[in-house]
Chain A
């Protein structure tokens, strides 16, 4: 596969816009890197870095002009593949409608290898045995531009999960940002990626460019903030069902749902039925839900199946890292570390798994 070099991202942004895509990339908003629409490459966050620890996210200044010099943003591609709310059905009088929700043509710029792995997990969920046509439409309307991760965060562990840091599949284009001079290698991953690449000024990559790009991914792989021992995890994690560690982690868990909401693969939703004031229109809406909400396992006339935080945390972690394999043939975790960073009390799945595996009963503190 040919790899080319571009000196600026602006022609790429313009080419995508010309091809009818809304370009969504990293921007700085509310003192965090957020995925939002950009109108030009100048909107990208030059010089911005981040530090990520359990329950703690802060932006830093890099001073080197790099525009992708940060780890995972709180936003993943999930908001675009599976919107937080969507109308499923409508009754107007006696007429039943299934509204065909819009599938906007969006180019996601700056996805990491973990994000691509998460999209692949969601594809198995939504395009597997019970394909969801609305998901398929949204998914097909997305143009995916990966950026190979140069600075993994303190909560990252994609190497453990075998998903990164280098993007190897599932992208239309994959960039590697290089310094001195500032430039990007561009790897083409699809025909439509090739068309966009052909439409912008580029030159062939030299052996030096390729070596520099390889070095970025090699170094990144050595800088994982966290690791998980996944060997035999499908066996030992469900077997840890009665570990005292679950009560320990439940004492720190807020059941706030943040881990699942920021998780790029957590796909659970609920449906809400509403009616209009005049009573002649009824609507069924799907919205993001979480196995940490009490109502999630509510049954008619019964108490919730998982009424304790212990039961909910155990269900989530066991599903994510073990029983997900049984259901979808893959791990539910891609090692992006978002659940660790964005847990208000700083619960660290890698630490919990290590403790569960080792039978360690040590209590950790809230960060």
Chain B
């Protein structure tokens, strides 16, 4: 495309999270140089300690909102960002730290910290979309490298990203995986989980852990019935739905159906 006057400016933000999704951007080793030629990576503390000032054309936001400070900071990020894309289960669904929503966070703090009164935290862990308007949500714990590149590429081209919302089962069949649930009796959340990982776990004969959250159409009552036939107890069912995407509505229903 030759040289451009100015490239779109990219920022990467971290809230309550483990950094794994930001690392996915750095993991784009083969494409990182081409990406850096297309966008100006203006703010990315994980990669560079030299933050560039806003505004930004595209902000990638990792992490959930768990503190009063972060609740204010995300509003600032929204203000300085033309487009805001959440990356990962924390930013999109509250993450594993949203398990606090099902318990008393003050009780947790009293057990974990010597001086819990120093801890300023919210009672819930909320996704970014519960705090500010979001342009696109990229699922996964962590996100998938190819999907991240697809979202950035789609942003550059001004088109809708190709991020299907169907089940992991489709990806298993595309990839040629045998169904671990049917052939091995291995419990698997694939039929109710959104694709995106490339059916990674079933490719290694493991059941799906639901990292990408619920698919666009789910029937967890029917899946739970099958998982019980395979020997899972109701407490175990509650546990598998309450991991990285515990507060997603369909997974909440699925765990409640199992008595959670």
Contact = CB atoms under 8 A, between A and B. Distances in A.
Q: Do A and B originate from a single complex?
A: yes
A247 B162 CA distance: 32
A257 B22 CA distance: 32
B217 A288 contact: no
A16 interface: no
Residue from B152, B205, B218, B219 whose CB has the most chain A CB atoms within 10 Å? B219
Interface of B: 1, 31, 34-35, 37-38, 149-150, 152-154, 156-157, 159, 162, 164-167, 169-170, 173-174, 176-179, 181-185, 188, 190-192, 205, 216-219, 221-223, 225-226, 229
Interface string A1-31: 0000000000000000000000000000111
A149 to B, nearest CB: 20
Contacts of A343: 182
A198 to B, nearest CB: 35
A280 interface: yes
Contacts of B223: 254, 344-345
Contacts of B169: 254, 256-258, 261
A366 B34 contact: no
Contacts of A287: 174
B225 to A, nearest CB: 4
Given A253-B222, A272-B162, A258 B1 contact: no
A131 interface: no
Given A56-B182, A254-B191, A257-B167, A279 B225 contact: no
A309 interface: yes
Contacts, number: 141
Contacts of A309: 217, 219
A257 to B, nearest CB: 5
B170 A293 contact: yes
A227 interface: no
Interface in A149-172: none
A84 interface: yes
Q: Is the interface of B mostly helix, strand, loop or mixed?
A: helix
A75 B179 CA distance: 11
A55 B182 contact: yes
Contacts of B184: 30-31
Nearest to A83: B174
A261 B164 contact: no
Q: Is the interface of A mostly helix, strand, loop or mixed?
A: loop
A58 B31 CA distance: 43
A30 B173 contact: no
A3 B14 CA distance: 72
Contacts of A323: none
Contact of B156 (A55, A58, A279, A293): A279
B166 A341 contact: no
Nearest to B193: A256
Contacts of A56: 182, 185
Interface string A63-101: 000000000001100010000110000000000000000
A223 interface: no
Contact of B179 (A253, A277, A342): A342
A254 B223 CA distance: 7
A320 interface: no
A341 B217 contact: no
Nearest to A262: B173
21 contacts: A30-B178, A30-B205, A34-B178, A57-B182, A74-B178, A252-B219, A254-B192, A254-B223, A257-B166, A257-B170, A261-B169, A277-B35, A277-B152, A277-B153, A293-B170, A341-B182, A343-B182, A345-B226, A346-B226, A365-B225, A366-B222
Given A253-B222, A344-B179, A277 B34 contact: yes
Nearest to B181: A344
A348 B170 CA distance: 20
A84 B174 contact: yes
